[in-house]
Amino acid sequence: MKIKNICCIGAGYVGGPTMSVIAQKNPKIKVNVVDINSDKIAAWNSKNLPVYEPGLLKVVKETRGKNLFFSTNVNQHIYEADMIFISVNTPTKTSGEGKGYAADLRYIESCAKQIAKISKNNKIIVEKSTVPVRTSEKIKEILRSNNSSVDFQILSNPEFLAEGTAMRDLEIPDRVLIGGDNTPEGKKAVEALVEIYTSWVPIENILTTNLWSSELSKLTANAFLAQRISSINSLSELCEETGADIEEVSKAIGMDSRIGNSFLKTSVGFGGSCFQKDILNLVYISKSMGLNQVADYWEQILIINKHQRDRFSKKILNCIAKNYLEPKALLLGWAFKKNTNDTRESAAIYVANNLINGGVSIDIYDPKVKESQVHRDLSFINVNYKKSSVNFVDKPFSNISDYNIISIMTEWDEFKDFDWENVYTKIKKPAFIFDGRNILNMNKISKIGFNYFGLGRR
Ligand code: UDX
Ligand code: ADP
């Protein structure tokens, strides 16, 4: 079966970049990305894309209006498509059964109902959003019970792109994973999706599995990555006590080829839309199957992640108290990592909240995040949050003399490359830098005169 028309429901961090690359590599396929959020669609149709991702604008400009379209006309594009990607958000449930752990599937379920209602011809439905294992069963049920005159094949094709490097990850993926049913129709559907990817991905990098393996692999790949970060972060505290240096330890561990050197960078804690949500999901699934030890094992990764954020916040609060400083700090960075404007679960949100609760007034700067987002993030985790607790600054270094305390929250290159020597004389004394990402050269910064606090070093 040759796919001619794709519809992707959800124009977010996953749907937008993924469809741009699929459209670029398959000029004969018409790709319509739809979303209920009209502001987002308008932004996708402008030069100010709603997602900041290096290299994305170039690909969008190249394909938009040719075979890539962004629209709010969800029903029309569902109707026309022979393949539909579901890329809607699946946040952690905030109420009901599984509250705080299970994924909220209401957006996925509403898509499935809409697809069932609109469809008049056979369609392949691709789960792109990260979902709990066996979600495809649920989608299947909804589709088939609401529309028995059309054949729906469900595939799982989880996205492994990391934000900030999405375009590279999409163009040269380590692997593309496609799960489908082991029936003749299921195999045909898998083949149709394989064909789309083979336009640019070598066939040996395309892995086909059953639906459940595909769903579970995505969750657990993220859990493994997060586990490495929590492992190294737990050691950072041990290093501070013993005098070992985490950067040296991490290098030594990573040079073991069986372990490898990526994802061993200590930080103030991992953020992003996936890691926490996926681990909570894994914990929930394990618990609901009575596997309490398995659940506890994975939950510990989140406990360490919160601990890392909390202990970093405490270091700043203790420093203010011990040195009788004015309770004021500059936070550099708000995004959960560099090269993205995404702030979901960013460690900066939690640290800022701890500081606000500790009576510190904070100024915040991020090169790609908007002020309104900062207020939204803080009011989401703290019902008592008042806008006046933080001040968003555009040019943090122009009023640098206001601060004793500067804390680096995101590893943006501009913070690393900044001429710190130049500002030292202007800054209030004593001057403290808390490097939540260990991006600065500790010796150089200390030599200039700053009191330097990195993680896992003294
Ligand atoms: C992750 C997975 O990498 C990706 O495969 C999946 O599709 C979605 O989830 P993402 O959340 O976009 O991607 O970013 P990632 O690069 O994994 O970083 C997640 C968090 O971990 C960030 O806050 C990052 O700063 C932090 N991190 C990463 C560390 O603290 N140390 C590291 O060594 C690596
Ligand atoms: P992700 O990081 O998974 O891409 P985002 O939140 O960035 O998550 O994007 C998900 C998008 O899905 C949002 O823009 C949201 O408006 C959209 N969405 C959610 N439900 C529907 C729906 N039923 N129809 C169309 N779009 C939807």
CA–CA distance, 207 with 218 (Å, rounded to integer):
13
Is residue 356 pLDDT above 90, yes or no? yes
Question: pLDDT category, 92, cuts 50, 70, 90?
Answer: confident
Q: Is 111 a catalytic residue?
A: no
Name the residue with the closest Cα to ligand 1, atom 17.
162
**Residue nearest ligand 1's atom 11 by CA:** 272
Q: Which of 7, 111, 239, 274 is catalytic?
A: 274
Q: Quick check: is 274 catalytic?
A: yes
Measured in Å, residue 89 CA sits from the centre of ligand 2 at 5
Cβ–Cβ under 8 Å, residues 147 and 119:
yes
Q: What is the mean pLDDT of the chain?
A: 96
The 10 Å CB-count burial string (b at 16+, else e) for 67-85 is bbbbbbebeebbbbbbbbb
Phi, psi (deg, nearest 5) at residue 27: -60, -20
Q: Output the pLDDT for position 17.
A: 98
Is the CB of residue 269 less than 8 Å from the CB of residue 309?
Answer: yes
Residue 320 has pLDDT above 90, yes or no: yes
pLDDT band at residue 91 under the 50/70/90 scheme: confident
Ligand minimally distant from the alpha carbon of residue 277: 1
Asked if 362 and 352 count as a contact pair (C-beta separation under 8 A), the reply is yes
Using a pLDDT cut of 90, give the percent of the chain over it. 92
What local confidence, expressed as pLDDT, does residue 204 receive? 98
Per-residue pLDDT, 129: 78
Ligand 2 atom 11 nearest Cα: 10
Distance of CA 145 from the midpoint of ligand 1 (Å): 38
The pLDDT-based confidence of 364 (bands split at 50, 70, 90) is very high
pLDDT at 355: 98
Q: Mutation test of ligand 1: which of 159, 163, 339 has the most ligand atoms closer than 8 Å to its C-beta?
A: 163
For the stretch 392-420, pLDDT in tens is 999 998 889 899 999 999 999 999 999 99
In this structure, what is the dihedral angle of CA atoms 54, 127, 119, 194, given to the nearest 10 degrees? 80
- Nearest ligand to the C-alpha of residue 270? 1
Res 130 pLDDT > 80:
no
Q: Is 338 a catalytic residue?
A: no
Position 137 pLDDT exceeds 90: no
Tell me if 423 CB under 6 Å of ligand 2.
Answer: no
Residue 351 CA, distance from chain mean position = 18
Check residue 266 and give its pLDDT: 98
Is the Cβ atom of 276 under 6 angstroms away from ligand 2?
Answer: no
Cβ(74) – ligand 2 distance below 6 Å: yes
* Ligand 1 pocket check for 179: Cβ under 6 Å: no
Residue whose CB lies within 8 A of the most ligand 2 atoms, among 53, 89, 114, for a mutation test: 89
- Secondary structure of the chain as H, E, C letters: CCCCEEEEECCCCCHHHHHHHHHHHCCCCEEEEECCCHHHHHHHCCCCCCCCCCCHHHHHHHHECCCEEEECCHHHHHHHCCEEEECCCCCECCCCCCCCCCECCHHHHHHHHHHHHHCCCCEEEEECCCCCCCHHHHHHHHHHHHCCCCCEEEEECCCCCCCCCHHHHHHCCCCEEEEECCCHHHHHHHHHHHHHHCCCCCHHHEEEEEHHHHHHHHHHHHHHHHHHHHHHHHHHHHHHHHCCCHHHHHHHHHCCCCCCCCCCCCCCCCCCCCHHHHHHHHHHHHHHCCCHHHHHHHHHHHHHHHHHHHHHHHHHHHHHHHCCCCCEEEEECCCCCCCCCCCCCCHHHHHHHHHHHCCCEEEEECCCCCHHHHHHHHHHHCCCCCHHHEEECCCCCCCHHHCCEEEECCCCHHHHCCCHHHHHCCCCCCCEEEECCCCCCHHHHHHHCCEEEECCCC
Catalytic residue among 53, 127, 159, 215: 159
Per residue in 182-232, pLDDT (tens digit) is 999 999 999 999 999 999 999 999 999 999 899 999 999 999 999 999 999
Question: Would you say the pTM of this structure is higher than 0.85?
Answer: yes
Task: Report how far residue 78's alpha carbon sits from residue 80's, in angstroms, rounded to the nearest whole number.
Answer: 6
Of the residues 74, 77, 107, which should be mutated to test ligand 2's pocket, given the most ligand atoms within 8 Å of the CB?
107
Ligand nearest to the CA of 347: 1
Measured distance CA(49)–CA(174) in Å, rounded: 27
Atom of ligand 2 nearest to the CA of 114: 23
Whether 53 lines ligand 1, by a CB cut-off of 6 Å, is no
273 lines ligand 2 (CB under 6 A): yes
Task: Report CA 389 to chain centroid distance, whole Å.
Answer: 26
Ligand 2 mean position, distance from CA 86 (Å): 9
Q: 222 C-alpha to center of ligand 1: Å? A: 8
247 lines ligand 1 (CB under 6 A): no
Residues 372 and 300: beta-carbon distance below 8 Å: no
Q: Above 90 in pLDDT, residue 103?
A: no
Pull the structure tokens for residue 170.
Answer: 């999409």
- Per-residue pLDDT band for 40 (boundaries 50, 70, 90) equals very high
Ligand 1 centre from 162 Cα, in Å?
6
| Nearest-angstrom CA–CA distance, 227 and 232 | 9
**Per annotation, catalytic residue among 25, 30, 40, 218:** 218
